Chain A
Amino acid sequence: MNTKRRNISDTTILLTITIVVFFAMYIGAMIFQGKGFLKLQTFLNILNANAALILMACGLTLVMIIGSIDISVGGVAALVSMCCAVYLDRNVLSPEKNLTPGNVAVSMLIALGIGLAYGLVQGYLIAYLDIQPFIVSLAGMFFARGMTTIVHTNPFNVENEAFNRLKEPIRIAFLGTVNKKGKLVPAKIEIGVFIALLIVIILFFVLRYTKLGRSFYAVGGNRTSALMLGINVKRTKFFAHLMCGVLAGIGGYVYFLHVGSGAASHATGAEMNAIASSIIGGTMLTGGVGNIIGTLFGVMSLATIQSIVSSAGFDQAWWTGITVAAMLCLFLVVQSIVIARKKKSLKKQ
């Protein structure tokens, strides 16, 4: 049995913990909180509301695997929302001209462009000029928040027909339920959820099966060794940050699709939620260990606990904060205990 245990990597152990805890929590909520959590739509709503966070957390997972960090993603999301909002609803800036509304496809390109620009610049500074990632992305965050306000100061809802159509959740009849009146209520899933899940699948593949993905782990495991093993460490770091930037752009757009408005205060603290989700999902801040599926479950765990707290009547923000903090602590302690135990059992052999 011991030999079998030896083959399990740290990543797998942490992933297992996350998945088990998520299901335990959700089933617990179903039993103790009753009705709400028994409905499929409650689960789907959690997904709908957190698709953007999933994307941002994926980006964070990538940079955390290489042992780096990016705290600008929330700011980027806000900037993306605001730029796209202003572009789609041009009348906000100059109502008197009565301009034609912007094209949705172009707004997507704007989102991608902002994300890409962030990834390129931050990646370059961090990977090639070797500047502390925390500092670079701190500056990035301030810049994004500042720019958001410069683009437009007041929050507003977007008036754009094509966009509003896109924003509508997709109705899926066969997942629907029949309500008391005997009428079919189809399940509603926002388009962002599909984007997020698609990207999770792609990233899972990238991290597990591609040269680049494996290089992320190598660089995070030991940077000097990775260099000696013939990995282009700088380029690897650059790509991780580039991908994180692009994911923040996409995440920003999904966020925008969910809220349908532009505001300088959008996605405040999203970067911290993304980091927390990644950690709950089994990614280690020290680098080298992490899993994208874990991150998905990390986001869902975080979101579930938030909705448990609010549906239990503690809907003030601080209760959520305190619960999330407690959960993070719990996860970190469990992680370190499990890993320490594993090391101990190895030493005894």
Chain B
Amino acid sequence: MGKEVLKMRGIDKVFPGVHALQNVDFTLCEGEIHALMGENGAGKSTLIKVLTGVYTKDEGEIILNDNAVSIKSPQDAQNLGISTVYQEITLCPNLSVAENMFIGREHSTIRNWKKMNEDAGKILNELAIPAKPAQQLASCSIAVQQMVAIARAVDMDCKVLILDEPTSSLDEQEVEKLFKLMRDLKAKGVGIIFVTHFLDQVYEVCDKITVLRDGQLVGEYEIKDLPRVQLVSKMLGKELDDMSDIKSENAAYEKKANETPVFTATNLSSTEAVYPFDFHINKGEVNGFTGLLGSGRSECVRAIFGADRNLSGEKTKDGKQVKISKPIDAMKKGIAYLPEDRKVDGIVGDLSVRENIVLAYQVLKGAMHPFSKAEAYKFADEYIKLLDIKTASADTPIKSLSGGNQQKVILARWLLTHPDYLILDEPTRGIDVGTKVDIQKLVLKLASEGMAITFISSETDEMLRTCSRLIVMRDRHVVGELTGDDLNQNKIMSTIAGGESDGK
């Protein structure tokens, strides 16, 4: 291993009400891939943001190549050779791909478009990124946008590359490409900090792991010295055998003969280009949509919920035909939907936890039937306790909560409406292992109490643990349904891949 390129010593950061980082040390060597692990709220993001100048540290020092540096803005960080790729795309959608790669780090005041496009083209080619330099960024898929962000970071001749959950929007092939890129960079002596929730990925590419918990350093480990189970227990601060528990609970669901399905849809299609499909779900059942990224999983449930305009199809609820053309229709029929992108579709950042929890219930009751503040507090406290939401109080603005806890608040919001049928679209994306397990358990518990649940996740093993029936999608078509013994990784893969000739 090379010499130490970056040392962070005794970093301290306090936010109002939260001690986000307490005396944290972090060391990165040349040519190593270093995983930064921890639950949501452990302080990973804060540490990264201190390093990239988004936040200023309250105490501690940052030493880059043996020189103490002060990083006051993202620009400073860039100039010092610290590049970052964030989970959320931090590029400008209105600019071209090439421009996004070079803006903010040009030396000349006058732009040479031709040269810029040529340079960008070269880099894109080298990294095999399917985008044209002159193309507007907004016209690229999210995955390609992420690759462009990485291309930008890579081209900056950086000494330290920070990848903050870059893989959460990428599919497997793209992740592979990214890993190859990371290994190439490592060979060139770049130190890489890799933040991710995917344990597999950590063990695939990383050399070292630093674990944070509750804003404190747990330790730094060589990857070979730290088996997965131990890593998870270090992150959680407790031993974990919950995973195995869940599996056994799964068997509990048995379909009763001749039961009226809670919800059915026939020949349903929507404006978001989902081909007509049939769907049904029974009381107490957990089913799921699976398929590659962009195969139409979310679009299907959005069509069910009426979030996208339906082009065709009939829906029944408890055997009776219903018309659901808007989300409010679905809510009134006892259907709840937890959207995929919580930042965009879910939380109202400036409102408090309490207000976010009672939001859907209030909408359902109608503005003419307000309920008292005391009642709202009662609901909020009840669900904060039930779901173990980590918040200072019910009045804390939701945006100051960690991702996993925000997700729980949204879940609470929908549970409060007491739905018969709950749709969860990627409820566990971007949240830590502990909360993931909590949510999976909760799903199974709700189902055992009779709720019908559709669960979508991009992690197949999570789907396998929770769902008793899987609907497989490919290119916006439903291509198969798996139950019972067919519920395994291989079968899913072969169904997704199968009969390529009829796909497009």
Contact = CB atoms under 8 A, between A and B. Distances in A.
B93 interface: yes
A288 B94 contact: yes
Contacts of A7: 132, 134-136
Interface in B41-99: 54, 73-75, 78, 84, 86, 89-96, 99
Interface centre among A211, A215, A348 (most CB of B within 10 A): A211
A208 B74 CA distance: 25
A214 B135 contact: no
Contact of B95 (A3, A8, A217): A217
Given A6-B139, A7-B134, A225-B89, A230 B78 contact: yes
Interface residues of B, number: 35
Given A7-B136, A227-B74, A218 B95 contact: yes
A64 to B, nearest CB: 13
B376 to A, nearest CB: 31
B90 A228 contact: yes
B273 A348 contact: yes
Interface string A197-240: 00000000000111110110110111011111111100000000
B314 to A, nearest CB: 25
Contacts of A9: 94, 96, 136
Given A229-B90, A230-B75, A221 B95 contact: yes
Contacts of B89: 225
Nearest to A227: B74
A208 B111 contact: yes
B142 interface: no
B122 interface: no
Contacts of A215: 103-104
A188 B251 CA distance: 89
Interface in B449-496: none
B111 to A, nearest CB: 5
Main secondary structure of the interface of A (DSSP, over half): helix
A231 B104 contact: yes
A221 B74 contact: no
A215 B94 CA distance: 12
Interface centre among B74, B95, B108 (most CB of A within 10 A): B95
Contact of A10 (B106, B108, B134, B136): B136
Interface string B176-205: 000000000000000000000000000000
B110 interface: yes
A226 B111 contact: no
Contact of B92 (A209, A217, A348): A217
A220 B273 contact: no
Contacts of A232: 73, 75
Contacts of A346: 139
Contact of B104 (A208, A230, A289): A230
A183 interface: no
A347 interface: yes
Given A347-B273, A348-B273, A221 B93 contact: yes
Contacts of A218: 92, 95, 99, 103-104
Nearest to B104: A230
Contacts of B110: 209-211
A111 to B, nearest CB: 27
Contact of B109 (A3, A211, A217, A347): A211
Given A218-B92, A221-B94, A227-B74, 12 more contacts: A6-B139, A7-B136, A211-B109, A217-B95, A221-B95, A225-B91, A228-B86, A228-B90, A229-B91, A231-B103, A347-B272, A348-B273
18 contacts: A7-B132, A8-B136, A10-B94, A210-B110, A212-B109, A214-B95, A214-B99, A214-B111, A217-B94, A218-B95, A221-B93, A227-B74, A228-B74, A229-B74, A230-B74, A230-B105, A231-B75, A288-B93
Q: Which 7 A-B residue pairs are closest in the complex by CB-CB distance? A: A230-B104, A221-B92, A221-B94, A288-B94, A228-B90, A229-B104, A225-B90
